[in-house]
Amino acid sequence: MSMTPDQMAHACSIAMHANDQAAKALGMEIIETRSGYAHLEMLVRKDMLNGHAICHGGMIFTLADTAFAHACNSYNKVTVASGCTIDFAAPGFEGDRLKAIAQERHRKGRTGVYDITVYNQKDEALAFFRGKSHQINGVLIDVPEESAHYGTTGE
């Protein structure tokens, strides 16, 4: 039986997370993945604070970048970042539960554009991240031939 596109996205996300030592060390959790979409969460710990006692911007960036990776790799085509920007809107604090929502805006050929917003547990936006992706050779998981065609839309 073949996988639906969203089942494929979920399987790719699980496979990526299994190998992502940085995401696991930071306690990131996959909440939901679909084709071109990912929702990841992370609890801000004391060891994630900067000299101002707020969440280090690099931690917020890493959460957003990881959600971006899960969204752009959801088609089972190995895809990497070719560029990204982030704008910080508000600080995160120790004990905050941050969520990053990644959404595909455009995908054609080997490139894509994704917007990721990072929120706190009150749904206040903390950061706006835009990532540009580039597909390279390879797949994340081996699937039956009939399921392999889901990654070809938009090309």
pLDDT at 153: 45
For residue 37, being part of any structural domain is answered with yes
Supply the mean pLDDT for the chain: 94
Which of 40, 109, 41 shows the shortest CA–CA distance to 70? 40
Q: Where in the sequence is the domain holding 124, given as residue range(s)? A: 5-144
Q: How far apart are CA 155 and CA 146, in angstroms?
A: 18
Region 67-86: what's the mean pLDDT? 98
Indicate the pTM of the whole model. Answer: 0.91
Domains in the chain: how many in total? 1
**Kind of pairing, strands 29-34 and 37-43?**
antiparallel
Query: What 8-state DSSP symbol labels residue 140?
Result: S
pLDDT at 134 over 80: yes
pLDDT at 154: 45
For residue 149, being part of any structural domain is answered with no
Class of residue 61 by CB neighbours under 10 A (exposed 0-12, middle 13-18, buried 19+): middle
CATH number where 62 lies: 3.10.129.10
For residue 150, being part of any structural domain is answered with no
For residue 44, being part of any structural domain is answered with yes
pLDDT 10s digits, 9-67 = 999 999 999 999 999 999 999 999 999 999 999 999 999 999 999 999 999 999 999 99
